[in-house]
Amino acid sequence: MPTKPLAELESMVGESKQTVENFRIEAGKVEEFARAITDTNSVFRDESVARERGFDAIPAPLTFPRVKRFPRYQVGADAEVDEREEGHYGFDLGFRPEYVLHGEQAYEYERPLLVGDVLTGETTLAEVYQRDGGRAGTMTFAVLETAYRDQSGELVLTDRATAIETEGAVDDGGGDDASAGDAATTHESEPEPQPVDRPQSAAVLESGQSGPTVVAPDLERRDFVKYAGASGDFNPIHYDEPYATAAGNESVFGQGMFTAGVASRVVTDWFGRETISSFGVRFQSRVFPGETIVATGEVESVSQDETVDVTLEAATPDGKTLLTGTATADLSRSNDR
């Protein structure tokens, strides 16, 4: 349970505060972040390629806003900031960091983030509630929304994050809100990446059509460390074995947003970064060292206005669902048209 009573947390709902300042989108950090989520697309590291594809500068990957976690971008943060906290977004929720899960994450994009942007963020505590989580005990949920504006004051991004504090370590066997989910497809052998041609219009798409398969194979602890360094998520539960096991986990495990970053590649590879107007995931299970992430997508619906809604899944080859998600692509925004 949080160190603050639920009534006190509920009294904070609706409060807003500036939480991010001088968040500079830098070319070196964009390249580092892309590599950390296993994305080799040259548009995220080569300005000439980015301009050939219609961008004014190098764009950032879909989940790059996580980089705002670094203390230098957080209002009021200093060298003593507790980097273990997940999802507090500047609010003192009384959550114990070793028992905090990232439940859901969603983004709505007005446009891609570009190298050279300087962002500020204002966060609102939108909702707080509790549920019985079975083996996870009482689960306390906090939903925080952050609006990011660029140096011109224009809204470029809205971020909606759900943080969950449990009463103890979560068993990925299922049975609680944070980890339960339908079984993923079991693969007979280690899958291979499968690219698909980028559609030039929505007319060539139909409901049920599959997108590319993205594979991040044989993950190691250092992959989680690389993502920590790229994103600013330094919760030791992802790289410190004694800390992770003392909290009741079998070992360290990957950041949920690392898995989300891998899954985001499905839609950016499929439709192009500039077309994506929304991307969201719900975390189901954790990925551990030695496992492989297989991310896939499928067309859910196609609209006459060139809008395509997609469902996403990231899983391990043996059928454990890591996350499910959705994305929307507006093909009228395509730089290739």
Residue 140 contacts residue 66 (beta carbons within 8 Å) = no
Radius of gyration of the chain (CA): 19
Nearest 5°: phi and psi at 185? -65, 135
Q: How far apart are CA 239 and CA 254, in angstroms?
A: 8
Q: How far apart are CA 85 and CA 96, in angstroms?
A: 8
CB atoms under 10 Å from CB of 163, counted, come to: 23
Sheet holding 307-315, edge to edge: 16-24, 118-132, 138-149, 155-165, 100-109, 276-283, 321-330, 307-315, 293-302, 214-216
Contacts of 78 (CB under 8 A, 6+ apart): 71
- Relative to beta strand 100-109, strand 276-283 is antiparallel
CB atoms under 10 Å from CB of 132, counted, come to: 10
pLDDT tens across the length of the chain (337 residues): 678 899 999 999 999 999 999 999 999 999 999 999 999 999 999 999 999 999 999 999 999 999 999 999 988 755 444 444 444 567 888 888 778 888 999 999 999 999 999 999 999 999 999 998 777 688 999 999 999 999 999 999 999 999 999 887 666 644 334 433 444 555 556 789 999 999 989 999 999 999 999 999 999 999 999 999 999 999 899 999 999 999 888 999 999 999 999 999 999 999 999 999 999 999 999 999 999 999 999 999 999 999 999 999 999 999 999 999 999 999 998 876 5
> Model pTM greater than 0.85?
yes
Residue 61 contacts residue 33 (beta carbons within 8 Å) = yes
Q: Which residues lie across from 24 on neighbouring strands?
A: 118
Residue 15 contacts residue 125 (beta carbons within 8 Å) = yes
Residue 172 contacts residue 320 (beta carbons within 8 Å) = yes
